[in-house]
A and B are shown apart, each in its own frame.
Chain A
Amino acid sequence: MSLLSISNLNLSIRKKPILRDVSLSVDAGQIVGIIGESGSGKSMTAYCVTQLLPEGLTATGDIRFNGKNILSTSETDMCAIRGAEISMVFQEPMTALNPVHTIGQQVAETILIHEPQTSKAEALERARDALNRVELPESRFPLSRYPHEMSGGQRQRVVIAMAIALRPKLLIADEPTTALDVTTQAEILTLLTRLVREDGMGLMIITHDLAVVADMADYIHIMQQGQIVEHGPADRLFQTMQHPYSKALLAASAHVPDREPPQGETPLLEVRNVLRDYALPRTKLFAKPESFRAVNDVSFTIRKGESLGLVGESGCGKSTLTRAILGLEEIQGGEILLSGEPVFTGKKPNRAVRRKMQVVFQDPYGSFNPRHRVDRLITEPFYLLDTTPPDREDRIAEALRSVGLTPDDAFKYPHEFSGGQRQRIAIARALIIKPELIILDEAVSALDVSIRAQILDLLAELSETHGLTYLFISHDLSVVRSITDRVLVMQHGKIVEQGETQSVFDNPTDIYTQTLIAAAPRLPEDLRNF
């Protein structure tokens, strides 16, 4: 008998079905991957198992955990099961820990809640053990640390320590590595696998990224719109896939847009020996504050029509560099030229140069004012021009049409669009003043794989029709590989390697680049050209 078996699970919110006849099982010591795009119901399945559904929702069907019927278990009994027998790890490590308690208190709390007779000292001691198991040694991570004193990956380890402190039988990890850098992601996945093997617990890992679970899970379920459309043992699933959706998902993950190689050698953006220092908080009242060098002697050139990738992990200085290129901040050394003109002159951005470049950010939800209509949102770059162009309406229609929307969409508000459509609006906003350079700052990172493939196609097409040049900043190596001609790898504010994308990925020379590429999750090699 399985550790967890779900059969015919159904759930609906206001008559709208969220889960339809979901059936799956997890055995002790088994890693089961659940894959799906946003809204596929994969997280809801997890919440059903722990009975942590949003208020007022009840699932029907049958969930058996260790022979016990979960759906008919009382809330009091569920509290005894959660954290002790079934534990959960969530996506956002930055917010998953209570900022006002130390990590020791938070890990010990799991123990104290379930074993109230334990003394506080003993609970803290066991918390120490749990933290050691997730590789947070005492010397560097004393129990008295607060979450804000740790990085995202370290916090995720604390969350995992909380979850495994009582050696649960089942661990549910909901997108545990989505918010993390590739190298950190690889470490966390290794850690989870090790814990499963050591404790013989079942692991249900939920993700949108096929590659993440491809070489980790024993069994994989693919979900679409509340249904499991395909499932099978991980080692054979990719070969035996039948359902059109799972095939499409796989194709989208490995999607490479058709692009023409760039013509010509004219430099568009020249970045020469750029330095960017940040002042650190004063330590003494009258002493000069020390500074932190976020961008250290960076030089590169983007040719007209080229697509250049900039890869690096969080904190490497890539966002700082972006802001400097956009002329949003003054640099402390070197120069940044667009078509031979400096982007920053006399303590402020050079408007004449500034209007030749636009930027698209990661978050399609946060980068629009929700109270403005699309026409107003996408015409914002007009402020960079000296006068509003007389053909404003035509330009709006053209920009919207070129990103695959209709001119009528100009009168809608951002909340009426999906994430992918919003990213199209963001691209329309960048296109409207006909720039030469578009900076894409993690522009497809928040999107589902199938939407991501569409946006990448759109970008490739626009680059040809509008003669655009891209600076493509991302932590996602597979995306950078598919859409850029050349790539820069950045670490600690420096460019450690640069070259043709294909050759850098195939034969990385720098150690850091090698680590990055090795850490990136990959689909089985024979499927790349699926």
Chain B
Amino acid sequence: MCYKCVDIASWVQGGWRGQPGAARRIAKETRGWTIWLQASSQGTEILCILLFTSRALLPNLRPMLRYTLSRLQSLILSLIVASIVIFATVEVVPGDPASFMLGMNAQPDTIAALREQLGLDVPLWQRYLHWATGLLGGDFGTSYTYRTPISEMIGDRLWISLPLAIYALTLSTLIAFPAGILAATRRGSATDVGVMGITQLGVAIPNFWFAMLMVLVFAINLRWFSAGGFPGWEDPLLAMKALTLPAIALALPQASILARVMRSALLDTLSEDYVRTARAKGLTRRQTLWRHALRNALIPVLTIIGLQFSFLMAGAIIIENVFFLPGLGRLVFQAISQRDLIVVESVVMLLVFAVIIVNFAVDIAYAIVDPRLRGNR
């Protein structure tokens, strides 16, 4: 889905090579939308998969649909509230972008002129409306500092942050599930103690330190990976390779937490009455685990996965810095230090959008796992 959107933009650009002005205009218009689509692609893809699998799982889709609609209502409401809060918070932070851009010795009338040019002289609510309606059309406005469309700035960086987050989350899930299940089924054994010990370490180690250690071992000594930077997506394999060390560094603490949650959730469900009922029916321990305990243990695990994805999207700044990745985190960081308020607002809004979409997907996943949440027929 994301590839296609970007393709349209570049295809339009390429096809209109004769008239660069028109191409840029169309590219600019479509670019705004591609960002929304990219950001929501993660959520909608999960949603599509879930809806398709749910068709197989659910004998009756109606309550599911009703539930989805009610969740959608709260999603839209959250977005509106979030946009107001973000705008208000960023605007009350002291520091005037115009005077910052012009430096310490700028004349007051120059600053006033620039403020007017940037649209900072109109009342707050008008600026909010302008910004919000712009967002709806995919127009994020223009960066105060770089004078380039924000959608372009974000677009490039999203293509690093989003794949990195998905990569790290996949790794963490792939590690955590088997580790958690193994520890829970062999409670008290050497395996359990081992898993608990390693995950304790994983939570305790700062991930930037672990990242530097990996750079030292795998990039500098063994030369398996490059120490940082991002070569672009022309060669997807190379790009994935560049993201591997950062993804591992991000996944380590996440996997540790997730494995522990998986273990304790599974231990809780294994002591439930219905597990005893299943055993009394003649199921072996293993069958009981896979058929009855695991699905019931998924609710807390899904919650953590949702939180972790949000964190990975927005909170990768340090790792992006260690590996010199031009991701969203670094963009926000730079924008804040340069008082480029509109960039901060837009990126934060985009991240909030991603978080809300992920939460929505998690809510839907809850209902698929647990029929009680779908409500009665």
Interface-located stretch among A90-98, A297-305, A378-386: A90-98
A82 and B281 contacting across the interface, CB-CB below 8 Å: yes
Contact B277 A110, beta carbon cutoff 8 Å: no
Please indicate which of the listed interface residues B276, B280, B287, B295 has the most CB atoms of chain A within 10 Å of its own CB.
B280
Find out whether the CB atom of A113 lies under 8 angstroms from the CB atom of B272: no
- B280 and A98 within 8 A (CB): no
Q: Are A79 and B282 in contact (CB under 8 A)?
A: yes
Contacts of A109 in B (CB 8 A): 278, 281, 283, 291
Q: When each residue 272-312 of chain B gets 1 if its CB lies under 8 Å from chain A and 0 otherwise, what string results?
A: 11101111111110010001100110000000000000000
Shortest CB distance B284–A (Å): 5
Cβ contacts under 8 Å, A101 to chain B: 292
Collect the chain B residues with CB atoms within 8 Å of residue A82's CB: 279-282
Q: Is the CB of A114 within 8 A of B282?
A: yes
A109→B282 CA distance, assembly (Å): 10
CA distance in complex: A420, B376 (Å): 39
By a CB distance below 8 angstroms, the chain A residues around B370 are 99-100
CA distance A340 to B373 in the complex (A): 45
Contacts known (A146-B372, A149-B377); A98 close to B278, Cβ less than 8 A: yes
CB atoms of A50 and B280 under 8 A apart: yes
CB of B371 within 8 Å of the partner chain: yes
How far apart are B295's CB and chain A's nearest CB, in angstroms? 5
Q: Does B18 contact A (CB under 8 A)?
A: no
Bound Cα distance A90, B296 (Å): 20
B334 within 8 A of A: no
Number of interface residues of A (CB under 8 A): 33
Give chain B nearest CB distance to A121 CB in angstroms.
14
Where chain A touches its partner, the secondary structure class is mixed
A76 to B282, CA, bound (A): 9
A144 CA / B274 CA spacing, docked (Å): 18
1/0 contact string of B236-279 vs chain A (CB within 8 Å): 00000000000000000000000000000000000011101111
B94 at the binding interface (Cβ < 8 Å): no
Contact A162 B281 (CB under 8 A): yes
Q: Does A102 contact B (CB under 8 A)?
A: yes
Q: Is the CB of B376 within 8 A of A92?
A: no
Q: How far is the CB of B238 from chain A (nearest CB, A)?
A: 43
Among B278, B282, B296, max chain A CB count under 10 A is at B282
How far is B279's CA from A96's CA once the two chains are assembled, in angstroms?
11
Known: A144-B60, A148-B372. A95 touches B280 (CB 8 A): no
* Known contacts A98-B296, A99-B372, A146-B371; is-contact A84 B282 (Cβ 8 Å): yes
Q: Which residue of chain A has its CB nearest to the CB of B282?
A: A83
Whole-angstrom distance between the alpha carbons of A88 and B274 in the complex? 12
Complex: chain A residue closest to B275, CB-CB = A98
Verify if B108 is at the interface (C-beta below 8 Å from A). Answer: no
Residue A87 CB within 8 A of the other chain: yes
Digitize A346-369: 1 where CB-to-B-CB distance is under 8 Å, 0 elsewhere. 000000000000000000000000
Chain A residues lying within 8 Å of B283, measured Cβ to Cβ, are 79, 83, 109, 113
A142-188 contacts to B (CB < 8 Å): 144, 146, 148-149, 159, 162-163
Residues of chain B with a CB closer than 8 A to A81's CB: 282
Chain B interface mostly: helix
Report the bound CA distance from A148 to B284 in whole Å. Answer: 26
A100's nearest neighbour on chain B, judged by CB, is: B295
Residues of chain B within 8 A of A95, CB atoms compared: 272-274
Alpha-carbon distance between A528 and B283 when the two chains are bound, in angstroms: 45
Complex partner residue of A52 from B276, B284, B295, CB under 8 angstroms:
B276
Q: Assess whether B281 is in contact with A113, with CB atoms less than 8 Å apart.
A: yes
B51 contacts the other chain (CB 8 A): no
Q: Is the CB of A52 within 8 A of B279?
A: yes
> In the complex, what distance in Å separates the CA atom of A80 from the CA atom of B279?
11
Please give me the residue from chain B that is nearest to A113 by CB atom: B282
Contacting residues, chain A, for B276 (C-beta < 8 A): 52, 90, 96
* Interfacial residues of chain A within 96-128, with CB under 8 A of chain B in the complex: 96-102, 109-110, 113-114
**CA A101 to CA B296, docked complex, whole Å:** 10
Q: How far is the CB of A276 from chain B (nearest CB, A)?
A: 22
Give chain B nearest CB distance to A97 CB in angstroms.
6
Please state if A99 and B284 are interface contacts (CB–CB under 8 Å).
no
A292 to chain B, nearest CB (A): 14
- Nearest chain A CB to B75 CB, angstrom units: 15
Cα separation A76 to B277 with both chains bound (whole Å)? 17
B279 surroundings in chain A (CB, below 8 A):
52, 82
For B281, give the chain A residue with the smallest CB separation.
A83
* B103 close to chain A: CB less than 8 A: no
Q: Which residues of A in the span 58-102 have a Cβ within 8 Å of any Cβ on B?
A: 75-76, 79-84, 87-88, 90, 92, 95-102
Query: Residues of B at under 8 Å CB distance from A?
Result: 59-60, 272-274, 276-284, 287, 291-292, 295-296, 369-372, 376-377
List 10 A–B pairs whose Cβ atoms lie within 8 Å, in order of A's numbering: A83-B281, A95-B274, A98-B278, A100-B371, A102-B59, A110-B282, A113-B282, A113-B287, A148-B372, A159-B277
Q: A110-B282, A148-B372 given. 13 additional CB < 8 A pairs? A: A52-B279, A52-B280, A88-B277, A90-B276, A90-B280, A95-B273, A99-B274, A100-B370, A101-B292, A110-B281, A148-B371, A159-B277, A162-B281
Interface residues of A (CB under 8 A from B): 50, 52, 75-76, 79-84, 87-88, 90, 92, 95-102, 109-110, 113-114, 144, 146, 148-149, 159, 162-163
